[in-house]
Chains A and B, each alone.
Chain A
Amino acid sequence: MLRKGITESFGAAIHALNTNQLTDGVINRSKRMILDTLGVGLLGTRTAVFNKALVYSQLFTSEERSSVWGRSDITLPPHYAAFVNGVAVHSMDFDDTWHPATHPSGAVLPALLALAETLPSQPSGLDLLLAFNVGIEVQGRLMRFSREAYNIPERFHPPSVVGVMGSAAASAKLLGLSPAECSHALAIAASSAGAPLANAATQTKPLHIGNAARRGLEAAQLAQIGLEGNPAILDMDSGFGVYYKDYSPSAMPHPFCSGFKWILEDQNVAVKRIPAHLGMHWVVDAALAARGKLENTVGNFDLSQIRHITLRVPPSKYVNCPLPATEHQARHSFQFNACSALLDNKVTVASFNEAQINRPALKELLSKVQVETPKDNQPSFDKMYCEVEIETDQGQIFAARCNTFYGHWRKPLSHRDLVEKFSVNASSVLSTKGVEGVIDVIGNIESVSECSILGSYLRMTSSPHKQLYSTRVW
């Protein structure tokens, strides 16, 4: 059944949205997302997967060049800059998560920054902020077209489905395309969507975000030179609908109508404290609480006291991994994250090192874990909970439950903690001047006249000898 006009409405809205529509709430939230994404991306440039993407990307030559975050010495063709920076953002699963589930920012920001560097007249900070929000908004709208999108995914990895569409929309916005061109950008991008979930928890997962950024940008540029796709791509089941089992699209209201409201205004993102799948945050908070109870009662915490650990989590195969062998698997393992929390009383970036993963003490603890999936625990980031129950040799039980972890949209990170996360991440690569510069620029982005200043801070790396200490951290 052909429902007319939905794709058209998206094209019209992308074209028409202007800086006047940005509310304080949306500006505040999206600035936080941009800062967090940059920090996570900068840290991610130290990973093996980033390095592979970079080496590969250096095969290509071009006249226009865009920056690689955290590198003063390397530039790449714009598409590949978007690609590698996107890979960096998702390389450690440390980037933001939304509801319905996707990682919205990593698919959009790298594309926009790479594109901005090539434009003959530099966009202002507000232009960048607007385009970014267009990219986020389109993703949010698309996910609301199906019930399937509201649960933890099973088939396609959401960033590969909606992320490329968001990148196309944002890039189309920054390029100032006509409404028809914006629609075609979406149509062309749709043919680049959809990667299977099986590659999550592998080294290839970060490429899903990198590719979303790159191919969305490409779609917008192809639309700019006149390539056309199906003008009803969002309307049709055989269009964007192929990625969902149930699909019920609706038009995007025109921004000038009083009914228009940014989705980000109503639904905030979650910012991660741990570089792991979002579900891990619940189990970690619960494990830390249970551990605390044990320590308070028993006194000195001794691992050998633990006889048995029960985890009560929502059913989700790809994050149920009893004995992870790689860092990627570890980031997608309820068991690993619970046990790391119990062992170390914290879970940090360093917890996912090869050495840490292979610790005998950790493996021993892992062998004591049993996972249950209670019927009332729904695989939805809005509804799930995690329970950790420790049983000691003496037969004592210490249990704790986490409904909402700190960082979730219901309990957002304070401004201080958000900036702190950024600083720690960015400092692994940038000099103090660079770190503070980025914080400053993003904090005042509405008044920045040329966003190229952001790029220059992103290239202010710390002196080589400081970086030498850990050329490959993970």
Chain B
Amino acid sequence: MISTLQKSIRPMWAVRGLHKSAIEVLKRPAPEDTVTASFGKFISEIKPQHLSSLVLYRSKRMVLDSIGVGLIGSTTDVFELALQHCQHMYALDDISSVYGRRGTRLSPTLAAFVNGVATHSMDFDDTWHPATHPSGAVLPAVLALSDMMPANSKPSGLDFLLAFNIGIEIQGRLMRFSNEAHNIPKRFHPPTVVGTMGSAAACARLLSLNHSQCSHALAIAASLSGAPMANAATQSKPLHIGNAARLGLEAALLASRGLEASPLVLDAVAGVAGFNAFYEDYVPQPLESPSDDGHVFLLEEQDMGFKRFPAHLGMHWVADAAASVHKLLVGVGPGTISPAQVQDIQLRVPKSKYINRPFPESEHEARHSFQFNACSALLDGEVTVQSFTPAAMSRPELLTLLSRVCVEHPHDNLANFNRMYGEVQVTLVGGDILKGRCDTFYGHWRNPLTNESLRKKFRNNAGVVLPSEKVERLIDVVEELDRIGDCRALLSQLQ
């Protein structure tokens, strides 16, 4: 009896079974409806006329700053090491220029790599909110790729600028998929997560890939993303940006040859991680196809932060706060500060392990040390490129001050570049207490550098490796970039 009962039940199962696999197929979203596809469409369809004048203005400032920072970065040890590596491993390949090195050219991805390393070598490059260093991952790749393109079809300045902005936009969109991305990072270094994707997007556009190839470029890039925070504040950190630029370009080149990857890489598929592998919380949104009305780029709504000195963004708050205390002290007594006057120093900063270093031992660590930057600014009134030289770092007065610092993490000081503040409180030997506080440093997106200041920074940087005529020409070319017919006008001035 039971066996016949079972037999009669089974056919129903069988019927369900017959249709279950079909239902499974239906349950999967149609290819066109995915977040991944929407990104591919955007990259291939957005047009130069969608760039508003504000976006053009802001992105040209980014391009200028990024080049300047890359040029001075070409004087660093880590850049030299990366360049030597590329030249030893690969023969001279006369294609893409290396920043600041007359006559030196490399294969496109290698040029993107070393120029990216240069850009981030001193932690002097731009920072956005949510946090990442967007330009260094994109510009070197777009430059290298432009060098690679045939002489009779070089991109115009506007095409170049559009590709650059796509690379920035994609990064911004991806970071908005998670709350985790809004705070100072703890796990993956953001440029290695979104930077590679931005580079892939920009290069895919410059290569005029169709929307499917653009999607695949992103998916291929996802398999090349992700590096741990522990390598920040080490000599390897600049390679994060170098690799983001290089690998994004590589992803686009592979996609152009037909390599395919996951069509759902940006979508959140339970049990099979795509791009969400890099985040604890992840809610993706499709990108709308740009219509005739246009598209509002994120750069329009959220400006960029530019650094005034080569150190982690968080340092700028304590440096400005300490500088104001320095001014008070100098007002009180003779022109220089003597550590003998200082009894103790309290810093009130957000909680973030990788920038809390009482006694940094290398320039890389010093650029990631609240204590070091506060004391340097207290001593000298400002932090500059020279503050990180071995001589400056080993000054006895500085070391004395460092030994008197203690760090506090007030609850209201959030580890978020949009909300944090820096407070420096100095107790003098006499008992007087001097306080400085900075909510928004000069250069932050709420208080942007003037064009004057930005150009001054650029001249100081670029002038270290280029003659002044080239420096001035670069300023002019970038200013005119959206009106230039052939981007070689830019490419030819970089070394």
Contact = CB atoms under 8 A, between A and B. Distances in A.
B93 interface: yes
A322 B21 contact: yes
A193 B226 contact: yes
A230 B91 contact: no
Given A369-B21, A370-B20, A225 B81 contact: yes
B240 interface: yes
Interface in A79-124: 79
A156 to B, nearest CB: 6
A197 B219 CA distance: 11
A226 interface: yes
A79 B91 CA distance: 13
B225 A194 contact: yes
Interface stretch (A12-20, A53-61, A248-256, A261-269): A53-61
B89 interface: yes
A312 to B, nearest CB: 13
Interface in A365-423: 366-370, 391, 395
A207 interface: yes
A167 interface: no
- Give the most central of B192, B230, B258, B272: most A CB within 10 Å: B230
Nearest to A233: B230
Given A52-B254, A366-B21, A395-B7, A60 B228 contact: no
A308 B188 CA distance: 47
B274 A233 contact: no
B351 to A, nearest CB: 14
Contacts of B13: 308, 370
Contacts of B262: 198-199, 201-202, 204
Contacts of B89: 62, 64, 77-79, 218, 221
Interface string A179-194: 0000000011011111
Interface stretch (A126-134, A135-143, A234-242, A460-468): A234-242
A264 to B, nearest CB: 27
Interface in A294-337: 307-308, 310, 315-318, 322-323, 335
Contact of A191 (B7, B20, B107, B239): B239
Interface string B225-242: 111111100111001100
Contacts of A335: 21
B14 A191 contact: no
A197 B234 contact: no
B298 interface: no
A211 B235 CA distance: 22
B253 interface: yes
Given A207-B223, A227-B78, A52 B259 contact: yes
Interface string B254-276: 10011111101100011111111
A207 B220 contact: yes
B103 to A, nearest CB: 17
A75 interface: no
B58 interface: no
Contacts of A243: 228
A147 interface: no
Contact of B257 (A55, A62, A222, A368): A55
Given A197-B272, A230-B236, A391-B14, A56 B253 contact: yes
B270 A191 contact: no
Nearest to A229: B236
A472 interface: no
A229 B91 contact: no
Contacts of B224: 195, 211
Contact of B243 (A192, A230, A395): A192
Interface residues of A, number: 74
B258 A154 contact: no
A218 B113 CA distance: 13
A462 B264 CA distance: 41
Given A63-B91, A207-B223, A391-B14, A196 B274 contact: yes
B259 A196 contact: no
B229 A61 contact: no
B432 interface: no
Contacts of B239: 188, 191, 227
A395 B17 CA distance: 15
Contact of B231 (A79, A229, A370): A229
A228 B224 CA distance: 21
A56 B249 CA distance: 12
A216 to B, nearest CB: 14
A203 B81 CA distance: 34
Nearest to B19: A367
A63 B186 CA distance: 41
Nearest to B36: A198
A368 B16 CA distance: 10
Contacts of B188: 242
A208 interface: yes
B138 interface: no
A52 B258 contact: yes
A187 B25 contact: no
B104 to A, nearest CB: 15
B186 to A, nearest CB: 6
Nearest to B257: A52
B229 A238 contact: yes
Nearest to A195: B223
B259 A242 contact: no
A439 interface: no
B90 interface: yes
Contacts of A315: 271
Given A61-B90, A156-B277, A370-B20, 13 more contacts: A52-B257, A56-B253, A61-B107, A62-B91, A188-B231, A191-B227, A196-B275, A229-B231, A230-B234, A233-B231, A240-B228, A242-B187, A335-B21
Interface of A: 49, 52-53, 55-56, 59-64, 77-79, 154-157, 160, 187-188, 190-204, 207-208, 211, 218, 221-222, 225-230, 232-233, 236, 238-243, 307-308, 310, 315-318, 322-323, 335, 366-370, 391, 395
22 contacts: A52-B259, A56-B250, A56-B254, A60-B93, A157-B223, A196-B222, A196-B275, A202-B261, A203-B259, A204-B220, A207-B259, A225-B84, A227-B82, A227-B239, A228-B235, A229-B231, A236-B230, A239-B228, A310-B17, A315-B271, A370-B13, A395-B7
